[in-house]
Amino acid sequence: MVWRPLNLSEVCPTHTHLSACSHFAYVYLNLLVQLYGDSRDRRLSEKIEREDDTVVQKIMSYEHRREEYDFIVVGAGAAGCVVANRLSQNKKWKVLLLEAGPEQPDVSLVPGLSTVLLGSNVDWAYTTEPDGKSCLASRGGRCAWPRGKMMGGSSAINSLAYIRGSRLDYDTWADLGNVGWSYKDVLPYFKKSERNLNFEGLDRKYHGVTGEQYISRYPYFDKPSIMITDAFHERGLPLTDYNGAHQIGAMQAQSIALDGERISTNTAFIRPIRFKRKNLTVKPNSEAVKILIDEHKRAYGVKYIKNNLIYTAFAKKEVIVSGGPINAPKLLMLSGIGPRDQLEKAGIEVIKDLAVGENLHDHVTFNGIIIVVPNNTATLRTNDEVLQEVIDYHNMDIKRGPLSGNGAVSSVSFIKTEPDLPAPDIQYQVDSIKWREYVKEPIDYDRTRIYPTGFYDGLIPRTMNLVPYSRGKLCLNTSDPNGHPLLYANYYDDERDLIPLIKGVRFLLSLEGTEAFKKMGAHFLRVKLPACRDYEWGTDEYIVCLARHYTSTPYHPVGSCKMGPKWDEKAVVDPRLRVYGISGLRVIDSSIMPIVPRGNTNAPSIMVGERGVALVIEDWTQNNHQK
């Protein structure tokens, strides 16, 4: 099997009432492994190898031949899959795509099972370092930072929402000196990838219909999800297309899905071409551990590990790092590119002193504001019904039912907490829970979210700060540089980040007076979570306590290989995404974002892949450079 789920024996407390730690949970996970633990890509690869003996011969002779390519792309995530696809369109260019994780497992295709991927073998399972200001109730003061470790990367493990952010975000990038990254510049690249299936009512100026990345609304929405959108609408937010002319508003967000299945960038950009383009080589389970750089400070290849063996691949033109906001800076530092003091402490020769790992930041939010959904409208299922829903979804040719959606996660809204703000500063995105279990053990509940997102009797509408001032950093672990890096999220280091959250929760609590809530009989649960018992529920002090103790994140870290002009001391790459001081090396992923966009980061990461690879192609085809 390709997929191994979360090990409940490692994360479940000794004495607990959580249903995720029950005997049934083991039965349920075993069923998921049996039905969805394999991979379509693995099966296809095996079939092609059986039909073509030459493929097998090539695989068997890897260590006996020189691996030489025009381009090496490290990381098959949201951006890397796009980059590899576009480069391999040129039949004269040989392209290698390396991915540290396995083939994308079938379980990742099921929208309603998105949370069961967290903590499994396709999650890097990173955690932040304790800072005394956030994540205080979490074990060891550490917040989880899941990242996808498989073909498709985090586009195969995320909550599937397709939201680009505000026009202002990209205009700000350009204002910081990043020529070519204004909203006007990047909009064509958003549209290029997009194949929007819900085009009715959407402005064609902002959307594409011929790209590889399918965008659609789920075939299944439940009543509590619609209630949330209706309540925000009743409170004055227009029903809107977040990715069009105006971002303020409420709606059931579109997703990276087709007919009730996830469409990761692996599914969209790699699977259709993987065994058809002879100039594209894809290697899963192959972790790059070093970029090779010669005495002229030119990148000429990479070392990678596959099956515990070290291989070397050479690049005649460029090495392109698309490992994401954690693995990209880590690989640069392991290769001698990064802060001098860090590299010297780790015993790594300094090739280029750059601010790699700085400017790390993320949207910050928190848990603990709970909406109770009455029994007559709750979507809970019995254990037998849960198993049957899982089996039924598996047996459907066209996927429908609760697992073809993602619970209330797509109930997304944007507001401005002050009328004179130029763009929204708060996003609401909703998680579904069993509220009686959650209030007793909130931390352990979050660590063991294995059941389908569509079955619940409570909602946590998370108030997210879209414009954080706080900045963290990523450092190598000097005792084990090749292991997980040290992630200093530094949430709430700048206390101004708490102000939008307080105002956002005040607006959120006003939903209780809407007709949408009253018709459903929904209400906010006025029960204080354990770490905040000393504060009055609903006060500013209580909200701050929740934010600091029950800190959470939508998993949108960016900025650790900051894009910026030459005079920017924190910049790692220039506006053409070339690493400063090293030729033949670029970073193309969300780590280059100087400021996180106001929204989810999957769509912007795909755009960065499109815009970045267009720059690569332009550089190698202009002035007769193409060979």
Q: What residues does each domain of the chain span?
A: 50-104+266-360+558-624, 111-152+219-260+362-552
Number of residues that make up the chain: 627
Dihedral sign for Cα 76, 82, 87, 88, please: positive
User: Would you place residue 558 in the very low, low, confident or very high pLDDT band (cuts 50, 70, 90)?
Assistant: very high
Instruction: Please give the angle made by the CA atoms of 358, 361 and 363, to the nearest 5 degrees.
Output: 180
* Residue 39: pLDDT over 90: yes
Question: Tell me, what's the pLDDT at 486?
Answer: 98
- Could you report the per-residue pLDDT of 263-309, keeping only the tens digit for each? 999 999 999 999 999 999 999 999 999 999 999 999 999 999 999 99
Alpha carbon distance 352, 446 (integer Å) = 41
User: Would you place residue 66 in the very low, low, confident or very high pLDDT band (cuts 50, 70, 90)?
Assistant: confident
Q: Environment class of residue 234 by beta-carbon count within 10 Å: exposed (0-12), middle (13-18) or buried (19+)?
A: middle
Mean pLDDT of 310-337: 98
Question: Tell me, what's the pLDDT at 627?
Answer: 44
User: Would you place residue 60 in the very low, low, confident or very high pLDDT band (cuts 50, 70, 90)?
Assistant: low
- Could you report the per-residue pLDDT of 208-252, keeping only the tens digit for each? 999 999 999 999 999 999 999 999 999 999 999 999 999 999 999
Q: Environment class of residue 559 by beta-carbon count within 10 Å: exposed (0-12), middle (13-18) or buried (19+)?
A: buried
User: Would you place residue 57 in the very low, low, confident or very high pLDDT band (cuts 50, 70, 90)?
Assistant: low
Alpha carbon distance 177, 163 (integer Å) = 25
Listed residue (196, 111, 197) closest to 156, CA to CA = 111
Q: 618: how many CB neighbours lie within 10 A of its CB? A: 11
Tokens in use for 32?
A: 């998921």
Q: What CATH number belongs to 111-152+219-260+362-552?
A: 3.30.560.10
Mean pLDDT of 183-187: 98
Q: Environment class of residue 365 by beta-carbon count within 10 Å: exposed (0-12), middle (13-18) or buried (19+)?
A: buried
Mean pLDDT of 156-167: 97
* Residue 94: pLDDT over 80: yes
Question: Tell me, what's the pLDDT at 337?
Answer: 98
Catalytic residue from among 17, 394, 556, 625 = 556
Question: Tell me, what's the pLDDT at 623?
Answer: 58
pLDDT mean across residues, the chain: 95
Please, are residues 500 and 425 in contact by the beta-carbon 8 Å criterion? yes
Question: Tell me, what's the pLDDT at 56?
Answer: 52
Domains 50-104+266-360+558-624 and 111-152+219-260+362-552 share a fold: no
Alpha carbon distance 103, 455 (integer Å) = 28
Q: Is 152 helix (H, G, I), strand (E, B) or coil?
A: coil
Give bridge partners of residue 302 from the DSSP assignment: 291, 313
Q: Is 297 helix (H, G, I), strand (E, B) or coil?
A: coil
Which DSSP symbol is given to 266? I
User: Would you place residue 574 in the very low, low, confident or very high pLDDT band (cuts 50, 70, 90)?
Assistant: very high
Estimate to the nearest angstrom the gap between the alpha carbon of 17 and the chain centroid: 31
Mean pLDDT of 373-382: 94
* Residue 58: pLDDT over 60: no
Tokens in use for 132?
A: 């005394």
Question: Tell me, what's the pLDDT at 50?
Answer: 78
Q: Environment class of residue 626 by beta-carbon count within 10 Å: exposed (0-12), middle (13-18) or buried (19+)?
A: exposed
Give bridge partners of residue 243 from the DSSP assignment: none
Mean pLDDT of 352-366: 98
User: Would you place residue 626 in the very low, low, confident or very high pLDDT band (cuts 50, 70, 90)?
Assistant: very low
* Residue 61: pLDDT over 60: no
Alpha carbon distance 99, 147 (integer Å) = 13
Q: What CATH number belongs to 50-104+266-360+558-624?
A: 3.50.50.60
Mean pLDDT of 504-512: 98
Give bridge partners of residue 461 from the DSSP assignment: 430
Task: Name residue 540's amino acid.
Answer: D
DSSP codes joined into one string, 79-127: THHHHHHHHTTSTT--EEEE-SS-SPPGGGG-GGGGGGGTTSTTB--EE
* Residue 383: pLDDT over 80: yes
Alpha carbon distance 322, 328 (integer Å) = 6
556 part of the active site: yes
Mean pLDDT of 149-175: 98
Alpha carbon distance 461, 516 (integer Å) = 15
* Residue 53: pLDDT over 70: no
Please, are residues 124 and 135 in contact by the beta-carbon 8 Å criterion? no
- Residue given tokens 């995404």 in the structure block: 577
Alpha carbon distance 99, 77 (integer Å) = 8
